[in-house]
Amino acid sequence: MAEGRSLPEVRALVGASHGITDLAHKLHFYDQWAPNYDQDVAALQYRAPRLAVDCLMQALPGPHHAALILDAACGTGLVAAELQARGFHQLHGVDGSPGMLDQARARGLYQCLNLCILGQEPLPSAEGTFDAVLMVGALSDGQVPCSAIPELLRVTKPGGLVCLTTRTNPSNLRYKEALEATLDRLEQAGAWERLVARPVDQWELATSELEVRPGTSDSDGFISGIIYLYRKQAAAQAEGGRPGA
């Protein structure tokens, strides 16, 4: 493994990634970043994978080893590592970055991995396949658009769970507002029911003083985030966020 970057170098790198809003450029960035991604986000004390899986655990009945889980925008497999540690073994993953999928494949935790650009391509799974679907760390400008959410819902079993996260730092607030509008429309349409909307103060270390929470310094401040957990309704018609005829 290459020698790790210093914290200032990692913060500059992640700050740069937050500023890339063109999808093709973002995917190329992640391909190049993939070999060092895990150690870099560890330096930022990135907590979203663990917190999201903890949230899912509270609502998903056992036995966990038999539950079929989709890790959407799986990256290098950080969420899969958290899932396996808690007894989940039936794991599928999709991501838009071939480089990230190579790293995920090397972990040996997924039964199936597929290249899929979320929001542009349909998921390679039948309707109602998964007991739970997670998307952790990918809902932001230049990554996965809000328009991908109904597709996550489509492949979830009736009564299954969907766990989503996004950052709530200043540069992502406009996206968060659009995301929550999408989530609310689906709930109003009867597609799913919100179980959790959990703010998290310490999501990861901030990349600049403009992103830190009030009352903290740039040197030790964290940005915030939020975890959403939904249960798909038994007779949901989620396409387009409208109820069926």
Higher pLDDT, residue 206 or 162: 162
Q: What is the pLDDT of residues 38-52, one digit of tens each?
A: 999 999 999 999 999
Q: What are the structural domains, with CATH classification, of the chain?
A: 7-208+220-232 (3.40.50.150)
| Neighbour order of strands in the sheet with 156-167 | 112-115, 90-95, 68-72, 130-135, 156-167, 222-232, 192-205
Predicted confidence (pLDDT) at residue 79 exceeds the cutoff of 60 = yes
Higher pLDDT, residue 192 or 214: 192
| Full-model pTM | 0.90
Whole-number Å distance between alpha carbons of 134 and 148: 13
pLDDT at 220: 60
Name 210's bridge partners. Answer: none
CA dist list (Å): 20 to 27, 42, 75, 140: 10, 21, 17, 10
Are residues 13 and 40 in contact, defined by beta-carbon separation less than 8 angstroms?
A: yes
pLDDT at 62: 81
Q: Mapping DSSP to helix (H, G, I), strand (E, B) and coil, where does residue 34 land?
A: helix
